[in-house]
A and B are shown apart, each in its own frame.
Chain A
Amino acid sequence: MQFKVSRIYKETVSRQLNMFRDDGLISKEQCDEMKGAYVIEKTVGVTRLVSVVGSVLIGLGILTYIAGNWQYMSPMFRMMLIVVGMTAFYVTGMMLDDNYPKTARALRYIALFIYGGGLFLTDQTFHLNRSVSWHFLIWAVGILTVLYFGKDKLLLYFFQALIIASIMGLGDSRNMTEFAFYAYWFVSTVGVVFAIRLSEESYRSGLAVFLNILGLFTLIIVMLAHIELEFVLGTGLILLFGLLLLFKPPFGTYALEVVKQSGLIITGFSGFVLTFADPWSDLMNGDGTSVSIVFTIILLLGLFYLVKSGYVGAVAFIALVILRYYFDTFYDFMPKSMFFIIGGIILLGFGVYLESVRRKGMKLDA
């Protein structure tokens, strides 16, 4: 048995153990054995700290020099600088792997940032106006090759974030041909699938699962916006996506709580949006009020069912729906003071309800 402790902690424990030994409570051997169980955790030494700060300063110096003279460098020289800088950082990182694993990782990250920055700087150098999505995507591909050689949670998150950024960039697809849009969308989908597989197989982290959900969500939204699907149908699809996460999570079963809560938020919000009559009126080319009310009743029943099954958060959406009906219906008719008092009472009522549901949940847990 070994405990990793700080130097001060070990000194305190040693002093106390010496006292037990002197009182004859434990033998000298036992005392030494116990002391041996406490290992001083290696902390960052002064030398190490100084060298890290030193290299950061040198790095900053080089960077500011480059930034200051960037305009005067020829395009070829700029590109050479990016390639050489990236290679130098990466190779140094690989060489330091055995002795300074953390520094090695940091150097790899710098190399990958230079690589990503380089993608954008190509545009700046040759005065191009290419889609930002494209750069994020190529950046993500670079990160993926690094992930292939070693597990690194931070890089996985970064890969996921880049894919999401790339998909979001697609939202601004005015300068893009139809073919290009679908091609990007397809490749981004492949990226999200990769991220899901990676996190299922070797990472199993809650944040990775959340980013995967966000990735799928943006994929759906961007496509719906592009094909300009009828609002009700689009929101309905998103609601179905939320329900899928809630009741039949296709992935992320090791972080079920993350999946289910995301599912609840997606379902709740898309449901809330559909309680308004206007989108239904647009869909039916007529008055959609009655349909929206039927939908609201079904939604509320569903939300109550969710509360019963332990999703306390669903209460918030029930409150949201009821308050919005209250506001839309009574704001114009009631005296303002009365309006706000009743609104407050409704909210307080939900507070009490929420508390009781939470207590019940705690009893169930116990």
Chain B
Amino acid sequence: MLKKEHIIIPVLILLLGIQLIPFAMTAWMGESIVLKVELYDPRDIFRGDYIALRFEEESVPVENVSLDLEQLEKIYDKKVYAIIKKQDESWTVVDIQLERPTQGMFIESRLDYLEYASGTDHSPSKKPILIHLDFGIDRFYVEENTGGSFEDAARDGNLLSELKVWKGDVVMMELMIED
């Protein structure tokens, strides 16, 4: 009985591993990119203080994208792939694809919603202007009560985030204040 109980340790480690390996792999193997950050700021009872944020690049102008409008409206809330490229020193989403790319840098995302010329109301006469993506990373945990300086930087548009991208997965590594 006692001997058999040893099996519990590998089981627990395996369960923990399932929880973290994909992210650890991305953090380890991924390529670094830097994106501009916008934010707001709450708290989580189980995981401490965090900064809730989104990336400027999660909002993509419709004209940048090769998908046509009808296709866009069908894939609401579905998985899409944001193709990213470095242009003039900053990383930008240059296209959105439905099929998983076989090469190049891309982020697996969800199509959150479409923004129409006036608000998000949908009517046939209106055409979407922005595609809002969700990269699946929307918080950065910080030491308690230290979110302030980041908030100030974000308000001035000087907050950047270093991310690792690996086979479409993203992990946020650091928040940086631009000088």
Rounded to whole angstroms, the CA-CA distance of A146 and B11 in the bound complex is 10
Cβ contact within 8 Å between B5 and A126 = no
Partner of B24, one of A71, A76, A94, A127: A76
Is B167 an interface position by the 8 A CB rule? no
Inter-chain contacts of A126 with B (CB < 8 A): 20, 23-24, 27, 171-172
Is A253 an interface position by the 8 A CB rule? no
Is B74 an interface position by the 8 A CB rule? no
Report if A86-B12 is in contact (Cβ < 8 Å); known contacts: A120-B47, A149-B5: yes
Cβ contact within 8 Å between A75 and B11 = no
Partner of A71, one of B46, B139, B143: B143
Cβ contact within 8 Å between B2 and A94 = yes
State how many angstroms separate the Cβ of B88 from the closest Cβ of chain A: 27
Is B103 an interface position by the 8 A CB rule? no
Inter-chain contacts of A83 with B (CB < 8 A): 13, 16
Interface size class of B (residues with CB under 8 A): 20 to 34
Inter-chain contacts of B11 with A (CB < 8 A): 142, 145
* Overall SS of chain B's interface: helix
Chain B 73-88: CB-based contact to A (< 8 A → 1; otherwise 0):
0000100000000000
Chain B 32-59: CB-based contact to A (< 8 A → 1; otherwise 0):
0000000000000011101000000000
Cβ contact within 8 Å between B15 and A142 = yes
State how many angstroms separate the Cβ of A189 from the closest Cβ of chain B: 20
State how many angstroms separate the Cβ of A202 from the closest Cβ of chain B: 15
Partner of B4, one of A71, A79, A141, A149: A149
Cβ contact within 8 Å between B48 and A119 = no
Is B125 an interface position by the 8 A CB rule? no
Is A115 an interface position by the 8 A CB rule? yes
Cβ contact within 8 Å between A82 and B16 = yes
Inter-chain contacts of A127 with B (CB < 8 A): 50, 137, 139-141, 171-172
Partner of B20, one of A79, A97, A150: A79
Interface residues of A in 40-83 (CB under 8 A from B): 71, 75-76, 79, 82-83
State how many angstroms separate the Cβ of A278 from the closest Cβ of chain B: 31
Chain B 1-28: CB-based contact to A (< 8 A → 1; otherwise 0):
1101111110111011011100110011
* Overall SS of chain A's interface: helix
Residue of A nearest to B1 (CB): A149
Is A6 an interface position by the 8 A CB rule? no
Is B138 an interface position by the 8 A CB rule? yes
Partner of A87, one of B1, B9, B24, B28: B9
Inter-chain contacts of B12 with A (CB < 8 A): 86, 90, 111, 115, 142, 145
Residue of B nearest to A119 (CB): B19
Rounded to whole angstroms, the CA-CA distance of A343 and B49 in the bound complex is 50
State how many angstroms separate the Cβ of B162 from the closest Cβ of chain A: 11
State how many angstroms separate the Cβ of B15 from the closest Cβ of chain A: 6
State how many angstroms separate the Cβ of A150 from the closest Cβ of chain B: 8
Residue of B nearest to A129 (CB): B139
Rounded to whole angstroms, the CA-CA distance of A86 and B16 in the bound complex is 11
Is A161 an interface position by the 8 A CB rule? no
Chain A 127-138: CB-based contact to B (< 8 A → 1; otherwise 0):
111001001001
Residue of A nearest to B52 (CB): A129
Question: A residues near B, CB below 8 A?
Answer: 71, 75-76, 79, 82-83, 86-87, 90-91, 94, 97, 111, 115, 118-129, 132, 135, 138, 141-142, 145-146, 149-150, 177
Q: List 7 A-B contacts (CB under 8 A).
A: A79-B20, A83-B13, A91-B9, A120-B46, A120-B47, A127-B172, A129-B137
Closest 6 pairs between A and B when the two form their complex, measured CB to CB: A126-B23, A127-B172, A122-B20, A124-B141, A149-B5, A129-B139
Question: B residues near A, CB below 8 A?
Answer: 1-2, 4-9, 11-13, 15-16, 18-20, 23-24, 27-28, 46-48, 50, 77, 137-141, 143, 171-172
